[in-house]
Structure formats: structure tokens, C-alpha cells
Amino acid sequence: MSVIILFCAIVILSCIVTNKFSNKLGIPSLVFFMFLGVLFGSDGILKLSFDDYDLTSKLCSIGLLFIIFYGGFCTKKPDDSKVTIQAALLSSLGTVLTAAFTAIFCYYGLKMPLAESFLIGAIISSTDAASVFSILRSKRLNLKHNTAPLLEMESGSNDPFAYLLTMLGIVLMKGGSLHSLTPMLFKQIFFGVLFGVLIAYATIYIFKKTKLLSEGTDTIFMVAVALVSFSIPDLLGGNGYLSVYLTGIILGNSPIKNKINLIYFFDGITALSQVIIFFLIGFLSFPHKIPEILVPAVLITVFLSFVARPLAVSAIMLPFKAKWNQISFISWAGLRGAASIVFAIMVVAESSAMKHDIFHIVFVVALLSVTIQGSMLPVIAKRDDMIDKFSDVRKTFNDYQQESAIALNKLTIKDSHPWKGCALKDIKVSNNALILVINRNNEKIVPKGSTILQEGDEVLIGTTVVQSSDDIKLCETVIDKGHEWLNKKINEIDFPNNFLIALIKRGVESFVPHGNTEIKLGDTIVFYET
């Protein structure tokens, strides 16, 4: 047992080390995780024999559900409804078209059996959000024409559709009839949508209306929510990945407590899931088998990148009068990654009676896609003139928190101080200053207008002018159309006791608010939690 635990620790630490090299080389770290698995595997240096597709399928499925949940949780609903419609069409119809084009190529071009052609098309029809946005974030590639939120929504939501197509392919592979597919298709979509929505709103109710959760247990509870939202519909024949994505996106766009802590937690869980998935993928592979499938895998990659994906994207985006440079970039940004290989492992675990080595074909396709397409993504963005110098790609996500420097000054009320014995409402401070916290006998007091200052009080004052070495980082949130604070006065909002608004940015103006300040559309709220 200790040997296994030590082995896991070595693997994780090795992945962390390789991640540093990937950032310097501009190659996605997932590629290095995969190669690390190869080095440990049957054909690697250590030659550890491993070919358990069933176990790998189960482990990777658990990791994938957290990746999809977090992808939904961090997907910020676009302000432009057109972007939402485009993303929905790309993730559904676009996935089907990509699968169909690829299947036709495999069947007629590569002379593969029909069922295997359909399966390969289904498996590699989804794009990998983690790969795309790790590159966009690390390179700070801010994209024009609302392309970043479009890609985020498409990449996060097309995995369930690819999974649905894969399940249909497995049924056909096992000899199922077209007649039997109808109830399966209905259950996949119906239970996936039903439980995804129900579990999401039940979770919101628990967060808002009950005292069941405390800080710390909320993260554990959210893990359970992700597991439940996948398992219940899956047990009933529904699409667990569709359910978990819907639960994630509804929760991510809802005002729940300690959201930023949940984001940090799931960021770690997702990173660990990616390490496990890509290491196991490499660990499960047999490089000596790759020469046998290299030619068809390369041909599929070329067709997918230059024909299938561009045709599907063009068919959907042209009716919206999208520019050709945007279509070109979206087409190139269709990287294949974790989901594709996990689905391939599922197929092998379900049926071994296949003429072609689907796992290694998909393995090579994903490897080429992430390595070549991923590393060239910044170049393509520049070539297509898609880089927006005046925006921030991080604003695409719900985990965006802009850092704001606020000067903090600590003032001790002595016996001779003019504020001693005065109520805060009677004290005159500058328009750009706000008394944030009063420390009285080691007790932190949230100040009110009626609060009377006493001798020995330590008063923490925040100003909009950066003039102190004691600057701290506060958090920002932007008020959009659906925000619950919109058009409300500050004194009308039920904030937590430890929540303080430090200042409001409105256009080019920044000011310290008061109780009667009305929050307006587009305001940036800078807040501080004691």
C-alpha cells in the first residue's frame, strides 16, 4: 500500500515539475503529463505493465465529470444573446456535423467498417476547453468579436453531445437496432436536462435558505452535488455529463456564498483530474503499436482540422454573418483532448471486437491536436487579426477577479484625538475615503453611522489613492443585466456581516459609496471581506 501511495506522490510531483517546462516551451502541460505516463508504462523506462481499460475508464470518468462541472461553473453567461445561440448550435449541431464528416471520411476514405467509422467520428467530435483556455489565459490572448465566451461555452457544453453520440455508436457496435435508439436518445436528453436543472436549483436553495453549510463544508457539499448530478441521471439511463454541466453553469451564474473559495477549490480538483487522466492515458498506451495506426491517425487529424471542423463551423457561423477571420480562428481552436480519449477508453472497455485500434488512433489524434494546434494558437490568432488589445480574456469566466490596489491607513484613536466620542456620521472624511473596520479590544466592528469611536479604537481607512506600502488586494465584480444588486441602493441590500464595499468604479470615475448610493448597470464594485 505504501508503495502505491509513494508512486502516486512521485507522479503528481513529476507532473508539477513538467508543468514548469511546458510554460517555458509554450506547449500545453497536458502533453507532458501524457509523455510522463508513457515513460512509466509498459514500453517506457520503468516498464510497468498496465492494460486495465475498465479501471482506467472508471477513474477517468470521475475526473472528467469534475472537469465538465468546473467548466460549466466557470462559464459566464454572455451578455450578448447571439453568442449564446451560436455556442449552443456549435456544441450541438456543430458536434453532430463534425462527427458525420469524420465518419464519412473514415468509411469511404480509409475503408473502415461503418460502426467503427461512426465511433471515431463521435469520439473526436468534442473540443477540449481546458487545453484552449489554458493557452488563452497563459498567453493573455484577448479575442475580438466575443470569440472567447463563444469558445468557452462551446467547448464546455459539447462533451455531453459527443458522449451521447459515442453511446449510440456503442449500441450499434453491439448489434442494437435503430428502433432501440429512440428511447435511449430520449432518456439521455430528458433525464440529463431534468436532473441537471433540479439539482442546481435545489443546491441554490440550500445555500440561500438553510444554515446547513459553514465555511469549509460548502466545498465538500459541492463535491457531493457534482457527483449526485452525474450519478442519478446516469443510473436512469440519462446523460450524466449533460446533467453535471447544466448544474455547473446554473450554479456558476448564481449568487451563492463563498463562490470564490469554491472556484479555488475546484481549480485544484480539476488540475488533479487532468493530471490523473492524461497520465493514465499515457500509462495505458503502447508506443510500439503506434506505427501501425500512424498513417490513418495523421490523415484523420488533417481531415478533422482542415475539412470537418471548418465546414461545421462555417455552416453555423455564416448565417450569423460572422467574419472569415473569426471562422478561421474558431476552426483552428477546436483542440481534441481529455474527453475524446476518455470516450475512446470507454469504447474499448465496452467492446474489444474491433478491427482497428481505436484507442491508439484517438490517442495520436489528440496528441497531434494539442501539440501542433495548441502551440500554434497564438500564431493563428495574430495571423487572423483576432487579438483585442483593449479587453481582458479573464473576464470571460466566472472566476475572474480583477486585482485592485487600495491604500489602507490604520489610525489609533488616542485620548486627545478629535474623533474620540464622535459618531461616524458626524465625522468629516474626504470623498475618496471610507472607514472599513474598527478594531476594539481585539473585536472587529463593522462600522455604522451611529457607531461612536472610543479611546484605543484602531480604525482602518481605505482610500482610492495608492500611496501606501500597505496596499492590499481586493476583489471586483461587474454589475450586469441579471445581477441581483442592479438598481438597488446599498442600504437596501442584505450583505453578509463581514462584507464591505470599498469603492465603486463608474465609467472613468471612482468613488466611495454611502448607504443611499444606487448601484447601476456597468458599475464595478470593489469589495472587501473582513
CATH number of residue 79's parent domain:
1.20.1530.20
Distance between CA atoms of 464 and 67, rounded to whole angstroms?
39
Residues 125 and 191 in one domain: yes
- At position 127, the amino acid (one-letter code) is T
Residues 174 and 44 in one domain: yes
In a domain, 398, yes or no: no
Residues 220 and 260 in one domain: yes
Report if pTM > 0.95. no
For residue 505 the three cell numbers come to: 468604479
In a domain, 395, yes or no: no
**Residue 239, Cβ neighbours under 10 Å: how many?**
28
DSSP class of residue 518 equals B
Residues 319 and 178 in one domain: yes
Long-range interactions of 114-121: CB distance < 8 A, separation 24+: 115/169, 115/172, 115/173, 116/173, 116/354, 116/355, 116/356, 116/358, 118/168, 118/169, 118/172, 119/166, 119/169, 119/170, 119/173, 119/347, 119/358, 120/300, 120/358, 120/361, 120/362, 121/165
Residues 429 and 353 in one domain: no
In a domain, 51, yes or no: yes
Q: Which of 359, 386, 413 is the last residue of a domain?
A: 386
In a domain, 397, yes or no: no
Distance between CA atoms of 307 and 373, rounded to whole angstroms?
15
- Owning domain of residue 475: 404-529
Residues 81 and 188 in one domain: yes
pLDDT profile of the chain (530 residues), mean per 10: 75 72 64 80 77 85 89 76 86 92 94 90 85 66 78 83 88 72 85 93 86 75 93 92 91 79 83 84 86 92 94 93 90 85 86 80 88 83 77 53 55 80 75 73 79 84 49 65 80 73 75 80 75
* pLDDT of res. 309: 94
Please measure the distance between the N-terminal and C-terminal CA atoms of the chain and give it in whole angstroms: 44
Distance between CA atoms of 38 and 278, rounded to whole angstroms?
10
In a domain, 393, yes or no: no
Residues 382 and 311 in one domain: yes
Distance between CA atoms of 44 and 347, rounded to whole angstroms?
25
**Structural domains in the chain (count):** 2
- At position 319, the amino acid (one-letter code) is P
Residues 31 and 86 in one domain: yes
In a domain, 265, yes or no: yes
CATH number for the domain including 432? 3.30.70.1450
Residues 32 and 100 in one domain: yes
* pLDDT of res. 485: 84
In a domain, 145, yes or no: yes
Residues 48 and 88 in one domain: yes
Q: Which of 386, 416, 445 is the last residue of a domain?
A: 386
Please name the residues in contact with 188: beta carbons below 8 A apart, sequence gap of 6 or more.
164, 167, 237, 238, 239, 242
Q: How many CA atoms lie within 13 A of 36 on its CB side?
A: 25
Residues 306 and 410 in one domain: no
In a domain, 488, yes or no: yes
Distance between CA atoms of 239 and 160, rounded to whole angstroms?
7
Residues 7 and 74 in one domain: yes
Helix, coil or strand: residue 499: strand
